[in-house]
Amino acid sequence: MKLTQILIEALESLNSNKMRSGLTILGIVIGVAAVIAMLAIGSGAQDSITGSINGIGTNVLFVFSGNRQEEVKNIRPLTMKDAEALNDPFSAPSVAAVAPILQGNVEVAAGGEKANISVNGVTESFARVRSETLTEGDFISADQVLGQASVALIGPETADKLFGRHVGVVGENIRMAGQPFRIIGVLASKGGSAMGSQDNRILVPISTARTRLFQRSGDDTVDLIFVETTSAETTTQAADEITQILQMRHRTAIGQDDFTVFSQADMLQTASSITGVLTIFLGGIAAISLLVGGIGIMNIMLVSVAERTREIGLRKALGARKNDILIQFLAESSLLSLFGGLVGVILGWVLSVAVGFIAAANKVDFTPSITMDAVLMATIFSAAVGLFFGIYPANRAASLQPVEALRYE
């Protein structure tokens, strides 16, 4: 039997039961669409997170308090003196700049509006290390840090929340923790990301944050230290220098560091590992619906075999071989899954685009990424599902005896 004839007969058979064929295809459509959409969302999340990390810069290190790999007792917090020691060009020649910060959330009020905003206490070097730019105003100066000035830099999203605009707000006053602060600058937009919005924040002098906002008077501890290296190539050397300095200052035993030096490469590896597992998990869940669609194909094909028993007997009586019957039913099940796979790819693409539009409407830098690998995998898998679940019904039809089939009522 020629391939074209097989396909024509398979299409005619499926066309004779449009409603049943359509419902069977729908199961495959939903399964394939779910796989495509979930893989696209997972891939988009990975791109968004890695893009956010890359945006920090290739020559930035992060120093945290505590050991993320070993359980260490008597952990000493990071301090301003630690930051000063890291900024010593003789002890750490690979370090270009150091920016310690304090972090916290504070209720901010202005013009009758209130919001809970992320506030960072920073030094004048923060702008250089984090590549901050302003749309208007000036950055925090060393004199303002020294004098515990009540000044603040505000993100554009925060400005929109409090004033309804992010232009011409320099000189305006806001209240944080019930205390007045004068706005001296507006941060340039960095956009939202999977790591959180960089536009909804406020920067104040670190000394002001310690004494007036976070109530850490008499304590020079910091939450995090950003370290800019002289170049991307000296990042590893700078990490070693930082480790040696802090080991001496904290007097830690070998292998018992009470701090962690994290590089961008470490962050990328961790983020890629997490999002990779997430993508596989989402794809696995979606594949279950595709499996259910395959079971639906088997069910419908078994019903079709029962309904066409006499037809099968007649074909065999007229000389049709077992392979002819087997191929005929396999062609029908494969066409069902193939049509469902093609429609599912289109629906999955539409769902991914819709998720992207929703993310854009919420000002989140997240774009689902549909890869050719995902499309090919979903399409091939759907065809394989149809073929696999069609084997038993097709073999059952091909194994019918002509005499028994002709007598079947």
- Whether the pLDDT of residue 84 is over 80: the answer is yes
**What string of DSSP letters covers 222-273?**
-SEEEEEESSGGGHHHHHHHHHHHHHHHHTPPTT--SEEEEEHHHHHHHHHH
Same domain, 292 and 329: yes
Q: Quick one: how far is CA 400 from the chain centroid?
A: 53
pLDDT tens sequence across 294-315: 777 777 766 766 666 666 666 6
36-43: average pLDDT = 80
State the Cα–Cα distance between residues 204 and 214, nearest whole angstrom: 12
342 domain residue, yes or no: yes
pLDDT-derived band at 277, boundaries 50, 70, 90: confident
Same domain, 400 and 282: yes
323 domain residue, yes or no: yes
Highest mean pLDDT among 52-61, 306-315, 373-382: 373-382
Q: What is the pLDDT of residue 193?
A: 47
- The count of domains in the chain is 2
- Whether the pLDDT of residue 195 is over 50: the answer is no
Q: What is the pLDDT of residue 138?
A: 92
pLDDT-derived band at 101, boundaries 50, 70, 90: very high
Same domain, 248 and 280: no
292 domain residue, yes or no: yes
298 domain residue, yes or no: yes
Domain stop point among 257, 292, 314: 257
Highest mean pLDDT among 25-29, 157-161, 190-194, 295-299: 157-161
User: What is the extent of the structural domain holding 159?
Assistant: 76-257
pLDDT tens sequence across 219-235: 788 989 999 888 878 88
331 domain residue, yes or no: yes
State the Cα–Cα distance between residues 186 and 206, nearest whole angstrom: 18
Same domain, 175 and 95: yes
Q: What is the pLDDT of residue 215?
A: 72
Q: What is the pLDDT of residue 344?
A: 84
Find out whether 371 and 322 touch, Cβ atoms under 8 Å: no
**What string of DSSP letters covers 285-353?**
HHHHHHHHHHHHHHHHHHHHHHHTHHHHHHHHHTT--HHHHHHHHHHHHHHHHHHHHHHHHHHHHHHHH
265-275: average pLDDT = 70
pLDDT: is 162 or 401 the higher one? Answer: 162
Domain stop point among 257, 279, 303: 257
Domain stop point among 203, 235, 257: 257
Same domain, 199 and 289: no
Supply the mean pLDDT for the chain: 79
253 domain residue, yes or no: yes
Same domain, 222 and 285: no
Same domain, 192 and 282: no
Same domain, 227 and 308: no
Identify the CA nearest to 179 among candidates 202, 146, 156.
Answer: 202
64 domain residue, yes or no: no
Q: What is the pLDDT of residue 186?
A: 92
- Whether the pLDDT of residue 407 is over 60: the answer is no
Highest mean pLDDT among 86-100, 305-319, 336-350: 86-100
311 domain residue, yes or no: yes
Same domain, 242 and 369: no
Highest mean pLDDT among 101-115, 146-160, 241-255: 146-160
398-404: average pLDDT = 62
Same domain, 232 and 288: no
- Whether the pLDDT of residue 404 is over 70: the answer is no
Residues for the chain: how many in total? 409
Q: What is the pLDDT of residue 69?
A: 60
Same domain, 253 and 273: no
Q: What is the pLDDT of residue 257?
A: 77
State the Cα–Cα distance between residues 341 and 347, nearest whole angstrom: 10
Find out whether 140 and 153 touch, Cβ atoms under 8 Å: yes
Identify the CA nearest to 157 among candidates 113, 121, 127.
Answer: 113
Q: Which helix (H) or strand (E) holds 109?
A: strand 95-110
Cα→Cα distances 41→106, 166, 194, 238, 280, Å:
33, 32, 12, 36, 11
Same domain, 314 and 223: no
pTM of the model: 0.60
The CB density around residue 368, as the number of other CB atoms within 10 Å, is: 25
Highest mean pLDDT among 14-28, 196-210, 389-403: 196-210
Identify the CA nearest to 123 among candidates 109, 104, 144, 107.
Answer: 144
State the Cα–Cα distance between residues 236 and 230, nearest whole angstrom: 11
